[in-house]
Chain A
Amino acid sequence: MKLLKNKRFRKLLPFAFFILVLIMWEVLVRALDVSKFILPPPSKIVEAFLSDPSRFAISTAWTAYEAFLGFSIGLLVGVFLAALISQFRTLDHIITPYLVLIQVTPMVAIAPLLVIWFGFGLTPKVVIAFLISFFPITINTVIGLRSADRDALDLMRVLAATGRFSFLRVKMPFALPYLLSGVKIAAPAAVIGAIVAEFVSSTQGLGYVILSAKAQLRIADIFVAIMGSALLGVTMFSLSVFAESRLLRWHESQIR
């Protein structure tokens, strides 16, 4: 019991739990003699990865590249749109319904069309990753820009500050916590977008690995790819959290 209160030990607990699950998985699959075409044991998954580690690494990197490109464009476009929407109520009125429409339409439904339009290469994947990631950034940033401190904006007016100054130096920083909340949703979502696009048509990437492994019933390969995509999502999320901790040192949410 004393050990459970030890801080270091407590930090290790989730990993210990993970290893326990792996061991049980291994033991149960072997004991119950589950077919390797249904559920391979962890040892077989590791084996599958070690048989050609560079293939999995390159596939993961390729998907990461697609997702990151799409997310970056989504970030730029999302912030730009938010700036316009927050400044012009009429524009908000006109385009926000369509932004929602883009968001609620399943990307899987749009993907084939994008393949027809943009070919089988990088472009449709980046476009889908972009489409999936700009929306949370836009709506969050709009709310942020609109909730800038009234008194601070009045102060800018009393000081006869330029619109540029009050936008960049007051409104944007006030919107930053909101923007970064959007990023935390958008960055992992971009990975999903890229893989969805790869499912429709691709010659490389994690989605391609999963599709071809499925065709050849190499279930262990599928598990490796799933772990790769999970790892990517976690990495994107962690980077967003890191950006938040760097950029928002002043914010209440960062006080420990």
Chain B
Amino acid sequence: MTTEPAVSATAKGSQSPLAVSAAKFSAFYPSVGGEQIRALADFTLEVENGEFVVIIGPSGCGKSTFLRTVADLHDTNHVAGKLTVCGGPPRSARLSRQIGFMFQQPALLPWRTVIENVNIPLEVAQIDKPRITPTDMLKLVGLAGFENALPRECSGGMRQRVAMARSLMLQPSVLLLDEPFAAVDEFNRDRLNLALQDIWAATNPAVLYVTHSVMEAVFLADRVVVMSIRPGRVKGIIEIPFERPRSLDLRTTVEFFHLMNKARGLFEQEPDIPHDAGVQQESRAKSV
């Protein structure tokens, strides 16, 4: 067991650094005109180890950009401010394989069977004896018996389960999910979210989960981060105090509705949209 990752040992220590810490962090995209478009502005957020944080906000609020920056997928020439992942720059967290990422699309390799896809992280990291084998991981996500199926033989929900299993194979300290179930039907989405909750409880990574759905956010999160649009800022953070594990019935309670309204309220008190400098700048640029 020499290949056992040292990550989980440090993740549970009380003095270990925060999973993710962003302080007055900004991210840009170079635009065609040469001017930079600000995707995130003065974004400040701290995520504890093992914490489940859901980020919601309208399209284009920079939530995906934030995830990509945490995973070191965003060009570091176009950022400002401070961002650490597992106590260091995103790059070193990525290189030490402490990050798991799940995309909106399953991104499976279509020539590999389900189990071969789940095995990819082990091949890349050259781990022969993993703590959790791909077979066990597939059981955990409810895909026992489908090991040798090809992705094209799987339904959309099953493919996302495979992607979930794959993102967890190296037991990341930080698991990033970018609208992972947006393309899945509602019934499957509920089941996948329940599965995610179970797996998170079992493996306990810090989770950053991006979604459009207020209901999904309140159901899953320890804390919900509500973002405003262009440039993306933290509008407010809502603590979700419900006990775990949570069942789907929770969503019919008064408290649940109360928290959903609170989150929605943060969107609605957005009088600054027409006056927003970023928006105005952009519309001016378009009219030229």
Interface hub of A154, A170, A250, A252 (most chain B Cβ within 10 A): A250
Identify which of residues 42-83 in chain A touch chain B, using a CB-to-CB cut-off of 8 Å: none
Q: Does A156 contact B (CB under 8 A)?
A: yes
Stretch at the interface among B11-19, B102-110, B205-213, B265-273: B102-110
Docked complex Cα distance between A161 and B94 (Å):
10
Determine the chain B residues whose CB is within 8 A of the CB of A159 once the complex forms: 97, 120-121, 124-125, 170
Q: Which of B99, B124, B170 contacts A165 (CB 8 A)?
A: B124
Q: Does B32 contact A (CB under 8 A)?
A: no
Given contacts A250-B150, A250-B152, contact A156 B124 (CB under 8 A): yes
Q: Does B260 contact A (CB under 8 A)?
A: no
Are A173 and B109 within 8 A (Cβ)? yes
Are B94 and A155 within 8 A (Cβ)? no
Are A158 and B94 within 8 A (Cβ)? yes
Docked complex Cα distance between A105 and B152 (Å):
43
Are A158 and B71 within 8 A (Cβ)? yes
Are B101 and A158 within 8 A (Cβ)? yes
Q: Does A33 contact B (CB under 8 A)?
A: no
Closest residue of chain A to B96 (Cβ to Cβ) is A160
Size band of the interface chain B makes with A: 20 to 34
Determine the chain B residues whose CB is within 8 A of the CB of A152 once the complex forms: 107-109
Are A250 and B111 within 8 A (Cβ)? yes
Q: Does A215 contact B (CB under 8 A)?
A: no
Q: Does A214 contact B (CB under 8 A)?
A: no
The count of A-to-B residue pairs whose CB atoms sit within 8 angstroms is 57
Are A255 and B152 within 8 A (Cβ)? yes
Are A170 and B109 within 8 A (Cβ)? yes
Closest-CB distance, A174 to chain B (whole angstroms) = 8
Are B103 and A155 within 8 A (Cβ)? yes
Residues of B contacting A: mostly: loop
Q: Does B95 contact A (CB under 8 A)?
A: yes
Closest-CB distance, B20 to chain A (whole angstroms) = 15
Q: How many residues of A contact B (CB 8 A)?
A: 21
Given contacts A173-B109, A250-B111, A255-B152, contact A154 B124 (CB under 8 A): no
Docked complex Cα distance between A149 and B109 (Å):
9
Docked complex Cα distance between A117 and B120 (Å):
50
Closest residue of chain B to A153 (Cβ to Cβ) is B107
Determine the chain A residues whose CB is within 8 A of the CB of B105 once the complex forms: 151
Closest residue of chain B to A162 (Cβ to Cβ) is B124
Docked complex Cα distance between A151 and B110 (Å):
13
Q: Does B23 contact A (CB under 8 A)?
A: no
Q: Which of A151, A173, A249, A255 contacts B103 (CB 8 A)?
A: A151
Are A157 and B73 within 8 A (Cβ)? yes
- Measured CB to CB, the residues of B under 8 A from A are 71-73, 94-97, 99-101, 103, 105, 107-112, 120-121, 123-125, 150-152, 170
Sample (22) of A-B pairs whose CB atoms are under 8 Å apart: A149-B107, A151-B105, A151-B107, A157-B72, A157-B94, A158-B94, A158-B99, A158-B101, A159-B121, A159-B124, A160-B94, A160-B95, A160-B96, A165-B123, A170-B109, A173-B109, A250-B112, A250-B150, A250-B152, A251-B110, A251-B111, A255-B152
Q: A154-B103, A157-B73, A158-B71 are in contact. List 8 more A-B contacts (CB 8 A).
A: A151-B103, A157-B72, A158-B72, A159-B97, A159-B170, A161-B124, A250-B152, A251-B111
- Measured CB to CB, the residues of A under 8 A from B are 149, 151-152, 154-162, 165, 169-170, 173, 249-252, 255
Cβ-closest 9 pairs across A and B = A151-B107, A250-B111, A161-B124, A158-B101, A151-B103, A159-B124, A152-B107, A250-B110, A160-B95
